Chains A and B, each alone.
Chain A
Amino acid sequence: MPPVNRTYWRSPAQIEGTPESRDFLEREFPEGASELAEGITRRDMMMLVGASLSLAGLAGCRRPVEEIVPYVTAPEDIVPGIPRYYATTMPFGRSAYGLIVESHEGRPTKIEGNPSHPSTLGGSSARVQASVLGLYDPDRSQSVTLRGTRKSWNDFVTAWGQMTQVHAAGGGAGLAIISESFCSPTMARLISELRVSYPRVQWATYDAVSDENRLAGLRQATGRDVDLMLRFDRASVILTLDADPLLSDPEMMRHARGFADGRRAGASGGAPSTSSGQGMNRLYAVEGVYSLTGAMADHRLRLASRQIAPFLAALAARVAPGGAGTGSGAKAGIPGVDPRWIDALAKDLQANRGKSLIVAGERQPAAVHAAVCALNTHLGNTGKTVSYYETKDAALPSMSSLASVVSAMKAGTVQTLVVLGGNPVFDAPADLDFASAMAKVPHSIALGHAVDETSSATEWHIPRAHYLESWGDARAVGGTLSIVQPLILPLFGGRTPVEVMGVMVSGQDRPGYEIVRETWKPILGEADFEKKWNRVLHDGLLAGSEVPEVVPDLKGEAVAELGRLGAAIQAASGSGGDLEIVFLPSPSLHDGRFANDGWLQELPDPVTKLTWDNPALVSPKTADTLGLANEDLIRLDYAGRSLELPVWIVPGMADQVVALTLGYGRVRAGRVGSGVGFDTFAVRSSRSPGFDSGVKVTRLGRKYPLSATQHHGSMEGRPIVRESTLTELRSSVTAQPARVDSAHAADSPQPPKKAGVPGALGVFEEDPHHFSLWKEHTYDKGPQWGMTIDLNACIGCNACMVACQSENNVPVVGKIQVAKGREMHWLRVDRYFSGEPSGSPEMVFQPVPCMHCEDAPCEQVCPVAATVHDAQGLNVMVYNRCIGTRYCSNNCPYKVRRFNFFNFTKDTPDILRLAMNPDVTVRSRGVMEKCTYCTQRINRGKIDAKLAGRELRDGDVKTACQQACPASAIEFGDLRDQSSRVVKAKADLRNYALLEELNTKPRTTYLAKVRNPNPDLEGVRT
């Protein structure tokens, strides 16, 4: 590994050395962090504590009476203390995530991906991990209501019967249904039945964050309703256009795995190692807003969303010359883009026919998607890196269907409106003015998890069952049939869309279980139905139920069409002076549906590292032009509407772009999400929900404080992240022996491990530069745990952070506490930039859990031995010994220890406690805590192996972060076992320890990132 030859920084403020960034550098917890928030000084608090202690002292001696409440009739298959695992599916729009859910005595607590499901492949995402909290959301609605008064479900069924008498006569005229998009055989069957009884029903499918443009583009190109399935693992050269397949795409888990697999290929400097025999993939990203995909890119071009069409037209003219796209000006330059960049890209794509892949983002117009489809076909990628299949059992999103229902509502022709999930009052485009249209509808019914913006405005509200309480089904990517199986009865009597549709179709109340089974009888066949059904429930999916791939015949001249569009756009934006507005789905809250989930609210945005807010994002240069600094409030005028919100500067964004994140600013989300952030739907129009020109920004001269974690846990300019290029790596493989001799401690990662080196397992070779003043542990007993994190595979998606939070009962602290550096995440994902802030800096992610140093600095300063080492190499934290000096945190070079400044779980509502892992202690105030390598999972693995009378095997123990990682970037295991995956990873040339020169001998090590730049692009600036 070559020495670090570039400077990494976390924000422009750090480069300038502003006081705010120094604060977190010099003190882990900045000035004032030790004081209470509410005007009570620490001294007063000590007095109060002392007084109450002396009073409580005697009462504390008495033993509290604790009850044991056993079952009355024990369920046959539940053994108290042994968790059970069930397969189920989380429907998410037209996607379906196959999951394995852990249940403790009937209480779902932890979610993992189902390894045999095509959508998750065993991984998960931050949202999937956090969805368990949604089940126990204390603000979920608890009963059916009629204009706010409690009613029963039967009342609704009766009322529905009366309401529909009118419609039955008119064949459904006056009945309108608004739904989110879905892909479910049962729902599709119910809809077709509904259309039989009510042929004139008006149906609208609306997603605030939708892929309508892509579907329309594919329809335009192929003449059929097809959807696509991307196979990143087979692609050598990938081009993304304003797309974020690695985070905001619903299929991000599948994409992440495929991309990481292609990334790992040959990353160790050796021969290509994927099954297809190709080397490391190369990713080009062209985008305006910095996305995770852009961060992973080998070459990233900053380009506003409106410039994507001309860019693609120019590319098409080079890739498919003559055939199409030679429209006027296609070959002409794009402002700010070096033509050599496009030339090199076109050459690379052509050199990798059948192994390349072009992906366009959902924001882009249909013409771009159609052209991308045509280009992929031209490059021979169809059926290889991208495959198409007919959409089946799906409700496809359509903005125009919503618009026509809304205009019918306004015209007064809608008598009954059913909102079958979704929250259109909040997230429908502002120009439709959905709320006032709904006020004109005599009867309205909303199915919702909470009494949200929509449900509080409708006549009837029906509580919606969480997916962990529901029977249902779905088709996953590629069409695989998946089953939604409940793990618990509805906590608040919620109903599923299937059950509500059941009532609408037949007028009778039927359990979802029956309705779903009725759909599956013809699918599975009557013969042996129960047996096959049980197999499906066990697996969570029906194997072999994919929809066959189609090879579409291209209709028309999609590329030529694009050429015209590109030319038009270029002509329109000829002046290029005005600002562009872009709407982004929130990586955490999506369209706002997860707003009441504390884990997601507090999860730092992967790129901005902001929590609890959604400022407008601008590039440093644009901020300069507009005279804006971080946290400045602005007024944004666009299409006749305006919005006030703060600004955050993101290096690497395209200039002249203002990006707004959707999903915040909910009014009736609940105690967590209401009033958090700014409602950007207020300025979104149905005409251009993705991006548009013509926005005006005015500085208001006021500030609005934001809580970003980007400076927290800073390690001052030391070589922390390392990266290299594939070429450098290959040359260092050959030059290695010489390199090791001349290695300087700070610059060289540890040399590759040699077998049989004495000392601590040979993981850390005795180095003449290093000797320890401390008595070293021997580590000769029991398994020796270690971890590697592959920075080359890590996409920075934060799934590990939420998985850790869910597994280890990590509390949520709130925006004000985050600003003081008190967030409790045991695992954080650091984000570094390198390069010119106002130019196109590169981004690197680094997850940082506890390093479990063999010579841990924290242990040496604890006055009460509350943090000590165990024989397996774990640095353990003993909560009941800890007196809260925080010396350990002060002495930790990695800043991974988190302190409970308050009893953060004290006010947790009872119902939320059901989400807690019973195998992990809930910490109280004044106690330090940190990553334990999931010691509860280690113990379970060891005891299970013991009971089975065998040794622990590699893979018996998986940490929560490792299991959740969609990119498989984390390996964990026994360092004694030479065949274990973690030992193999540590033998990699790229393996290095964080701050190795401190001689802390961390058990967690990193594999350096490798980029694979195109040699033709050397010296071409973007």
Chain B
Amino acid sequence: MIWRQFSAILWLRWRIMVNQWRRVGAFNAWLMGIVAVLAVGTAIPLFIGSIVLGLYVIPQAAPAHLMFAWDGLVVVFLFFWMVGLITDLQRSEPLSLSKFMHLPVSPNGAFLINYFSSFLRLSLIVFGPIMLGFALALLFAKGVSQLLTLPLLAAFLLMATA
């Protein structure tokens, strides 16, 4: 897969999303645009904030409390992810592989790009950085043994989004 083809598939997703917003109405398009900008704009502050907060809170927290914090993050993320998924299933246009197969893109590349570009959802843009920041804070506060959290987090996100 060549970078220009990757950017073409990202652009395709973007155009489809914008046209869907426009179909519902100009107000909706504006509203969704503002929400998207806010979500992207808060991703980095959320990431840094969750590291800082984690470093401050984690050393004093009991293991059970840390577990509850993770559970809470996971449940809230899954709730918003499911809301987005159900909305997508009802409204959006699936980018099935069959629509790419006659074009000069490798099936494997098209699948991977399509899959990874599906990560561009508001729930993941907001909660991904929070969970990653929290995992890094855990690593800094509790030591190298917490490195295991990172592959676990990646596995959880891949499982939920697959």
A pairs with B: no
Q: B residues within 8 Å of A by Cβ?
A: none
